[in-house]
Amino acid sequence: MQPATRSIAVAGPASAALRHRSARAATTPFVCLGCRSVQRRQQQRRPLSATISTQTDLRSGLTKLTSRRLISVSGPDASKFLQGVITNNISAPHNANGFYTGFLTAQGRVVHDVIIYPDELGPEPGKQSFLIEVDADEAVTLHKHIKRYKLRSKFNLNLLGPEERALYHSWNHVDQSGPWNKLVDELQKEGNARAVPDPRVPAFGSRVIVNQTSSSSPLADDDLTPESSYHLRRFLFGIPEGQAEIISGTALPLESNMDVMNGIDFRKGCYVGQELTIRTKHRGVVRKRILPCILYSKGAAPEIPADGPGQLEALEKLLKPEVEEGVKAEMIPQGASIDKVDKKSRSAPGKWLRGIGNVGLALCRLEVMTDTVLPGETPGMYSPEQDFVVSLGGEEGSEVEAKKVKVKAFVPFWLKDVWRIEAEKAEEERRMREELLRDRESDVE
């Protein structure tokens, strides 16, 4: 007997206002060239389109990631060049199989979030040959970015097509020896594929890189899980990905969770954008982070399941194809402000990024939208009775009031585990410093 499933239809987040921009040219305010470039990229961004089965696909699946693309960097200076422009340490032993990192501006803003793998399947395998996984819509931009700063560095740079390398993501939340894992193991034995645990959140699954040019048994797309199942699961884990969610030139790496997703090495040498990143880590407090959100229309906020790996299964019960009839997360514009109900804050507690059905990601102020207590501070302004809303569109002061839906942000289980471990380490370091200080004082006496 087949398990009952629920389907969620997924549509793209493209803004209707941007589509008809030319028709409204007479009434459109002036927009600078830089902002126009960002708007064009957002308009051309690929939509998340498919129908997903929430109860089966979220627990086990293998999907082809058409939303991601690979860039090959190989040559004698490949490692040295990348070390100077990314936030992670390419030489660290724990990064030998692949690692999450980012390219920053000189002001410390994220340009691209990427995953870098040693290229074990290419013509030049080894530490001087790498594959950079990047948002497919930003692959050409990153290729030009690297080429611009290459100067006299000796390495080859190639933007790989889907006919050369294919990228997949596999997960098996219930049984680690499931059918998808066996299929990936067979491909690895043939020497045509390589599976790597996702370096951001290990419980999230594994990346699978397949060499299409030599694979004798390519994976049939019709037999795979829809890619939108991957994105929905990623939203529930609170993992931002690509420049539709980590806005290029605007997002800060710590607010984008790059530090807690193993994307920053705070002890490595200099790299572009290091100064602000290090200063924020050691002298500042991260008050905003990208968090998963549940949308609802009426009544009290949904009860978010308890912490732990079982959180995902419990969240499945809250999933709906629509927030209410005719209203979906895809209809909310990127960057829409999240405000308190019946209260206008001086600064918005959050900003909406992207979503599917009634689930999505938003940049949230922690002490306002969650019960998180920031380090060294007392409990903030959070109240369980306080509701938050986001608008589906429309302009402030317009005759037609925009439709609004309520937002409930929550901290995923893995992020709470990271914070707990960091707090334990900080407490241990504090204790050791106090003991050392007491020993020195006793020696003086």
Q: Tally the C-alpha atoms within 13 A of residue 378's C-alpha that lie toward its C-beta.
A: 1
62 Cβ neighbours under 8 A, 6+ residues apart: 168, 169, 170, 180, 183, 184, 208, 219, 224, 225
Q: Are 292 and 236 in contact (CB under 8 A)?
A: yes
Q: Are 9 and 321 in contact (CB under 8 A)?
A: yes
- Give, in order, the Cα–Cα distances in Å from 32 to each of 29, 173, 289: 10, 47, 28
- Count of residues in the chain: 445
CA gap 73, 159 in Å, rounded: 9
CA gap 377, 361 in Å, rounded: 26
**Per-residue tokens: 258:** 């790059």
Q: Are 155 and 76 in contact (CB under 8 A)?
A: yes
Task: Select from 241, 311, 233, 316 the least CA-distant residue to 61.
Answer: 233
Mapped to the 3 state alphabet, what secondary structure does 237-285 carry? HCCCCCCCCCCCCCCCCCCCCCCCCCCCCCCCCCCCCHHHHHHHHHHCC
CA gap 281, 263 in Å, rounded: 13
Interval 364-386: pLDDT, tens: 999 999 988 887 777 778 888 88
Residue type, 10: V
- Give, in order, the Cα–Cα distances in Å from 371 to each of 377, 379, 412: 12, 8, 13
Summary count for the chain: helices (H), strands (E): 11, 17
Residue 69, helix vs strand vs coil: strand
200 Cβ neighbours under 8 A, 6+ residues apart: 100, 115, 239, 261, 262, 263
Segments in 88-164 forming alpha helices (H): 139-150
pLDDT of residue 396: 54
Q: Which stretches in the chain have pLDDT values below 70?
A: 1-56, 122-127, 173-180, 214-218, 309, 344-345, 394-401, 445
pLDDT of residue 9: 42
* 324 DSSP 8-state letter: B
CA gap 21, 105 in Å, rounded: 30
Burial of 278 (0-12, 13-18, 19+ CB in 10 A): middle
Task: Select from 110, 94, 92 the least CA-distant residue to 102.
Answer: 110
Beta-bridge mates of residue 354: 361
pLDDT of residue 445: 65
Global pTM? 0.83
CA gap 332, 352 in Å, rounded: 8
CA gap 160, 246 in Å, rounded: 23
Interval 140-159: pLDDT, tens: 999 999 999 898 999 999 99
At 291, give phi and psi (nearest 5°): -130, 155
CA gap 292, 235 in Å, rounded: 6
